[in-house]
């Protein structure tokens, strides 16, 4: 039995996988609200209670993984491979991955309906594939083909914490607004769930766009973004629509920058809950135009396909697949490679 997990700032999803005739089969999964638990260990204890022996464990975590240890970026959690092994009670392989490595591995072999095309193009099967995912934070990763394209090596990135680069006068004003609030402004300050709220507050407070009563009420809740998205989708709320237009433009521009940085001719995969839950908004908004708007390299950008990953379990699928392929490998920092 393989235990796989996706540990994020908002939610933690765990799954148990067994080997079946067609590969791994998920026999149990459960989602927890991360901040309702003091540590990952209480979640693990609840999930594996009265389960059988765990052969291998692989957890994708939103944060940098170094030397078998991780400090979660948007949670007050830190833990190691050894601590996880002790908590689960396994002597088998235990590995921690950056969550975007797990997501990237999970995209290998995905086909419709698990991915939805956002922009057409021609994917180079030997090209790098880039992955970007906005949720509680902004994750980035990428897949490099190996062994003649028969496998992919997934590599982590903390590019979501690189500097935000304004492309319009409105974004420049937003940068100044966020600079006063937070000091340095990273991409994640804009392209994330918290970024959506910050953009709304910026438009209300600085641009003097009329606030929306429903959104104002939602701001007092832990997650007002579903309300902002719903109001934006209805087209009847100017400030909600403007909020998502700014957000999607910044999101598309950053996805395009990632494609240029990596020369990602294999395509861009957009993961994360915001994209998955708001497909109509992304399709009708400025995401793609911002993605394409790269001056002399627009023709290159037009050739790169973009997909939205709508499979909700992609991260634990990637983690489980990696654990299954590497469960006899004792090196927790081994190559994050998975076969097609």
CA distance 5 to 181: 34
Beta bridge partners of 7: 12, 61
Are 50 and 147 within one domain? no
Task: Output the domain CATH number for residue 329.
Answer: 3.30.420.40
Are 198 and 79 within one domain? no
- In this prediction, residues 303-324 reach a mean pLDDT of 96
Give residue 92's pLDDT: 87
Are 331 and 268 within one domain? no
Are 269 and 330 within one domain? no
Contact 305, 119 (CB under 8 A): yes
Are 147 and 279 within one domain? yes
Are 141 and 203 within one domain? yes
Are 69 and 184 within one domain? no
pTM reported for the whole predicted model = 0.93
Task: Output the domain CATH number for residue 290.
Answer: 3.40.367.20
Q: Residue 150 — pLDDT band, cuts 50, 70, 90?
A: confident
- DSSP character for 59? E
- The token pair at 156 is 């982590």
Number of structural domains found in the chain: 2
Are 243 and 281 within one domain? yes
- State pLDDT tens for residues 204-263: 999 999 999 999 999 999 999 999 999 999 888 999 999 999 999 999 999 999 999 999
- The token pair at 235 is 């087209």
Q: Residue 327 — pLDDT band, cuts 50, 70, 90?
A: low
- State pLDDT tens for residues 170-191: 999 999 999 999 999 999 999 9
Are 51 and 36 within one domain? yes
- State pLDDT tens for residues 30-89: 999 999 999 999 999 999 987 878 999 999 999 999 999 999 999 999 999 999 999 999
What is the SS3 assignment for 4?
A: strand
Query: Domain residues for 36?
Result: 2-104+313-339
Q: Residue 29 — pLDDT band, cuts 50, 70, 90?
A: very high
């Amino acid at each position: 039995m393989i235990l796989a997990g996706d540990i994020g700032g908002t939610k933690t999803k765990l799954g148990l996988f067994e080997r079946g005739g067609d590969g791994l089969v998920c026999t149990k999964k459960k989602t927890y609200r991360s901040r309702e638990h003091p540590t990952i260990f209480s979640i693990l204890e609840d999930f594996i209670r009265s389960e059988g022996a765990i052969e291998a464990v692989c957890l994708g975590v939103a944060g940098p993984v170094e030397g078998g240890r991780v400090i979660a970026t948007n949670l007050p959690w830190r833990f190691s491979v050894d601590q996880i092994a002790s908590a689960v009670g396994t002597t088998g392989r235990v590995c921690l991955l950056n969550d975007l490595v797990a997501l990237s591995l999970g995209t290998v072999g995905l086909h419709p309906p698990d991915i939805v095309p956002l922009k057409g193009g021609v994917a180079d099967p030997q090209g790098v594939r880039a992955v970007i995912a906005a949720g509680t934070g902004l994750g980035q990763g990428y897949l490099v083909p190996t062994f003649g394209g028969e496998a992919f090596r997934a590599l982590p990135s903390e590019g979501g914490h690189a500097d935000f680069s304004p492309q319009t006068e409105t974004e420049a004003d937003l940068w100044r607004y966020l600079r006063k609030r937070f000091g340095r402004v990273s991409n994640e300050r804009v392209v994330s769930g918290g970024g959506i709220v910050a953009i709304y507050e910026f438009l209300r407070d600085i641009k003097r766009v009329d606030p929306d009563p429903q959104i104002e009420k939602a701001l007092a809740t832990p997650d007002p973004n579903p309300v902002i998205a719903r109001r934006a989708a209805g087209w009847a709320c100017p400030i909600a629509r403007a909020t998502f237009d700014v957000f999607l433009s910044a999101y598309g521009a950053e996805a395009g920058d990632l494609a240029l940085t990596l020369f990602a001719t294999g395509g861009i995969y957009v993961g994360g809950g915001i994209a998955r839950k708001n497909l109509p908004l992304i399709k009708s908004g400025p995401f793609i135009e911002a993605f394409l708007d790269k001056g002399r390299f627009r023709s290159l950008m037009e050739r790169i396909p973009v997909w939205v990953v709508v499979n909700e379990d992609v991260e634990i699928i990637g983690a489980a697949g990696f654990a299954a392929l590497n469960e006899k490998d004792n090196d927790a920092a081994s190559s994050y490679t998975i076969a097609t």
